[in-house]
Amino acid sequence: MDRHHEHLAHLFLNGDEEEAVEYTKQLLNKYPRAYLYEDILTPAMYYIGELWEKNEISVADEHLATAICDFVLSKLDADSSVVKRRNQKKYKVILFGVEEEQHYIGLKMVADTFKDQGWRVRYLGPDLSIEHSLVQIEKYRPDVIGISAALSYRLSTIKKLIERFRHLEWQPLIMVGGRMASQFDLGAFESKQVMVVRDLGHLHQWFKEGRDEAINETS
C-alpha cells in the first residue's frame, strides 16, 4: 500500500515547503488532482492530527505542518489559475468556516475544486461570524454558500446559519461540510436547499452528475 500521505505529512512537519511542493507535483503527474486532495493531502492532515492527539508532536509542530500544507495548496492553485480563468463560468460560490472554527485546509481544497470546475470563488477563510459573512453574501449574491466546521459542538451555529441563509431572496444552495460532516449524521439538516457534503469525493460526484448546471442561472 502506498504511504504517500505519511511521507507528505513528515515533509510538512519538517518544514520542507519546497520539497513538499515538488513531491506534490510528482504525485500530480501520476494521479488526478481530486485523488491528490481526497486520498493523499486529506489523510496526511488527519495523520498529523492523530500524532498530535498521541502527544507525539507539539501544537507548534501541528501549526507548522498546517502552514506548509497551506503553502502547497496556494502554490498548486497559482500554477493552474490561468487555465481556471480561461474556463470560468458565471456560477459563484462563497466559502467560509463558522465562527470560532480554526480548521481551514479542507475548505481551501473545496475552493480549489470549485475553481477547477470554472466557478468564481470567494474564500473568506475560517472563524467568520454570521454578521460579517452576510455582508459579503448579500453583496456577492452567490449561487452556493459553503460553510465548514470540524467539531460537533458547532452544530448549533450551523443550524443558525442555515436558518438565516434559507431566507435569502435568491434562494442559494447551502452546502455544509468539514470533518464534522464525515463523522456525524447530519441528514436532519438536508433539504431541497441544503446539501451536506461528506467529503471531496461527494462534491466531485455532485459536479459529475451535472447538478451545478441545475443552479438557478438567473442569480
Q: Which of 149, 83, 141 is nearest to 110 (CA)?
A: 149
Average pLDDT estimate for 53-71: 95
Work out whether strand 120-123 and strand 92-97 pair parallel, antiparallel, or are unpaired. Answer: parallel
Q: Find the range with the poorest average confidence among 87-96, 101-110, 193-202.
A: 87-96
What's residue 47's pLDDT? 95
The tens digit of pLDDT for each residue in 152-162 reads 888 899 999 99
What structural domains and CATH numbers belong to the chain?
4-85 (1.10.1240.10), 88-214 (3.40.50.280)
Amino acid occupying residue 3: R
Predicted confidence at residue 103, as pLDDT, reads 87
pLDDT of residue 83: 56
pLDDT higher than 60, residue 216: no
pLDDT attached to residue 82:
57
Name the pTM for this structure.
Answer: 0.86
Residues 6+ apart with CB under 8 A from 20: 8, 11, 12, 68, 69, 71, 72
Q: How many residues does the chain have?
A: 219
Q: CA–CA separation, 8 vs 116, rounded Å?
A: 23
